[in-house]
Amino acid sequence: MKTRFFMLLLLGGFIFGTFFISGCKQNKPMQVRQIPLEDFFKNPEKSRFQISPDGKYFSFMGPYESRMNIFVQEIGSDTAIRLTSEKDRDIAGYFWKSPTRIVFLKDTGGDENFKLYGVNTDGSNLKCFTDFPKVRTEIIDDLYDFPDELIIGLNKRNPEVFDPYRLNIITGEMKLLAENPGNIQGWILDHAGKLRAATAIVDGINTQLLYREKESDKFKPVLTTNFKESVSPLLFTFDNKNIFAASNLGRDKAAIVVFDIANGKELELVYENKDYDVSDLTWSRLNKKLIAVNYESWKLERYYLDEEGKQMYEKIQKQLGNYSFGITSLTRAEDKFMIRAYSDRSLGGYYVYDKTKDTLQKIAEIAPWLKEDELATMEPVEYLTRDSLKINGYITLPVGYTMETAKNLPVVVNPHGGPWARDGWYFNPEIQFLANRGYAVLQMNFRGSTGYGRNFWEKSFKQWGLTMQDDVTDGTKWLIDKGIADPKRIAIYGGSYGGYATLQGIVREPGLYAAAVDYVGVSNLFTFLKTIPPYWKPMLDMMYEMVGNPITDSLQFVATSPALNADKMKTPLFVAQGKNDPRVNIAESDQMVDALKKRGITVEYMIKDNEGHGFHNEENRFDFYRAMEKFLSQYLK
């Protein structure tokens, strides 16, 4: 039910051998097995488990012809049925719609024009519901209480906006619920499955909350704010009169509130945290009550609103120990739950929790070939920037090192994508791969990263390549000052916005980094804003305020577009790009590579014709990380 605006630019995401590292407390070398590259990046045998609404089956995604497909297995049985047979590309996502039918999304070659399919749990009646060329399907509401229906959004009528449709997943019949006037970004349904509210953009940079009492009524605006302030509806209250929302109106950190949707005013504060935004709720459909508020500090935390729910979560936590966990699905009776447990050193596994029996049954481990004691610990860190802003981040040191014993290590600095996203504490195969190869890895939640409040977010506005880049540089220099980083062996690597930060890093600091890896990154702010997907265009004025306007900020864009400043680069560069990328057009990488080659700068370029914004096909991931490993080894010996 959240608007799509804050999902902009998100990515929203192996050879046997032995090497030696020094730096243990006795300063003796420690023998560490070099884990095969493929073990980090190959498709799991089973993942994305869900439990059926009646609790009789579980489903999962597993490889078929090297592509992730959907399987269903009866609980207690050893045999699974494969429902799909995709060979070109992994299925993007799926969920149970009823005890007998599953729906899933799939695009072509990474173009992100997802089509919606349905299939029975015995493999029959496979049907594509939205087989329209160059049209993207979005799930607006899963209509959990209506087994045969879904609310979907399609930009079929106008590629820039999504109209809501009620879809019958048995017959394929679709009914248009409302025609998007051109500015609505989100649609909200009540618990009766009625379309009652919407969020819109007006005047380019203001957001508006719309409401109607009945579906036969016209929507009317009830609240208009600048986009920097927001009331993001999460769900209707259980009497269908008001809404629970994440709101930063009159406060810096987003809080959970009860909001009078008809009159546009806050009624009650449910929970707020003085340090972090809170924007996610856990709730019971069956018992019609809120269970917990979820938020991220340096890792996932919960504030409980219900004692019974708290006791259940604590029972699960006790059995899982130090692993973090979440619930991926549950039965309609809310007596069985599919649990995903994980840590910084483990992709974790899936469990079925039986609430009645208080039993936790392990169903599968996602990557059993990776052993936790061979993997590195991800530690939270913080540092101050040159303008005294506190930046939170993470450091992952090769196994055997601590912050006290790590000295003069080769380092990979890894700014995240988004940029309005954040890094968190969880298993990251890239980070573990690099640590296993002997590199320390620094991740930082630079200004603009989400979860730290409105003021911290706004500090990033029109600061691409400027103070946002300073935050990355200051983190790198912090590692050097602590003696952890060898100043001559530091690389910078990132994807999407992180790719931009990589390129801008070697423009701004040509002597700081020994190597750079740009993965689907922006290189020219002028062309980037001209080639965004059509469904981002209603938000273009916001982008102008957040990134900059190519006309009024043209001088700044010239100074902060890496492709226009290739003359300042001297760092060896490796660029990887998907040909079909709808977010960061391939022209971004082409012009960067061309500009460097004209100057005789070392640049390697990898293009994958069947990929988009990031490499999803297994063989392409292998190619990329194999080339990246060789590249980093060459320059960070």
The single residue listed with the structure tokens 């769900």 is 235
199 inside domain: no
Read off the pLDDT of each residue in 518-544 and give the average, rounded to a whole number.
92
What's the pLDDT at 602? Answer: 78
How many Cβ atoms sit within 10 Å of the Cβ of residue 556? 18
Task: State how far the Cα of 33 lies from the Cα of 370, in Å rounded to an integer.
Answer: 11
Contact 235, 216 (CB under 8 A): no
Instruction: Give the least confident one: 27-31, 150-154, 467-471, 603-607.
Output: 27-31
Read off the pLDDT of each residue in 96-109 and give the average, rounded to a whole number.
94
Number of structural domains (the chain) is: 1
Q: Please write the tens of the pLDDT for every residue from 5-62.
A: 333 333 333 222 322 233 333 344 467 899 999 999 999 999 999 999 999 999 999 9
448 inside domain: yes
Task: State how far the Cα of 67 lies from the Cα of 84, in Å rounded to an integer.
Answer: 10
Contact 560, 464 (CB under 8 A): yes
Read off the pLDDT of each residue in 468-496 and give the average, rounded to a whole number.
98
522 inside domain: yes
Contact 382, 391 (CB under 8 A): yes
Q: Which two tokens stand for residue 91?
A: 């299925």
Mean residue pLDDT of the chain comes to 92
What's the pLDDT at 264? Answer: 94
Q: Which domain holds residue 509?
A: 390-635
562 inside domain: yes
Q: Which residues contact 99 (CB under 8 A, 6 or more apart)?
A: 52, 53, 54, 56, 57, 121, 147
What's the pLDDT at 104? Answer: 97
244 inside domain: no
Secondary structure letter of residue 43 according to DSSP = P
Q: Which residues contact 500 (CB under 8 A, 6 or more apart)?
A: 464, 465, 494, 521, 522, 523, 562
513 inside domain: yes
Angle (CA) 36-10-128 rounded to 5° is 90
Q: Please write the tens of the pLDDT for every residue from 275-310.
A: 999 989 999 999 999 999 999 999 999 999 999 999
Sheet holding 378-384, edge to edge: 378-384, 390-396, 440-445, 409-413, 485-495, 515-519, 573-578, 603-608
The beta-carbon contacts of 477-482 under 8 Å, at least 24 apart in sequence, are 477/512, 478/383, 479/395, 479/411, 479/413, 479/440, 479/442, 482/403
Q: Which two tokens stand for residue 428?
A: 């990251």
Would you call 287 helix, strand, or coil by DSSP? Answer: coil
What's the pLDDT at 3? Answer: 37
205 inside domain: no
Task: State how far the Cα of 395 lies from the Cα of 40, in Å rounded to an integer.
Answer: 19
What's the pLDDT at 30? Answer: 60
Q: Which two tokens stand for residue 370?
A: 């990776």
Q: Which two tokens stand for residue 413?
A: 């600095």
Task: State how far the Cα of 534 lies from the Cα of 135, in Å rounded to an integer.
Answer: 11
Q: Indicate which residues carry an active-site annotation.
A: 496, 581, 613
Contact 436, 398 (CB under 8 A): yes
417 inside domain: yes
pLDDT tier for residue 450 given thresholds of 50, 70 and 90:
very high
Q: Please write the tens of the pLDDT for every residue from 557-589.
A: 999 999 999 999 999 999 999 999 888 999 999
* CATH number of the structural domain spanning residue 594: 3.40.50.1820
Dihedral sign from CA coordinates of 6, 265, 279, 501: positive
Read off the pLDDT of each residue in 447-455 and give the average, rounded to a whole number.
97
Contact 306, 324 (CB under 8 A): no
Residue 379 has pLDDT above 70, yes or no: yes
pTM for this entry: 0.90
What's the pLDDT at 20? Answer: 29
What's the pLDDT at 7? Answer: 31
What's the pLDDT at 166? Answer: 96
What's the pLDDT at 23? Answer: 34
Task: State how far the Cα of 19 lies from the Cα of 132, in Å rounded to an integer.
Answer: 52
DSSP 351-399: EEEETTTTEEEEEEES-TTS-GGGS--EEEEEEE-TT--EEEEEEEPPT
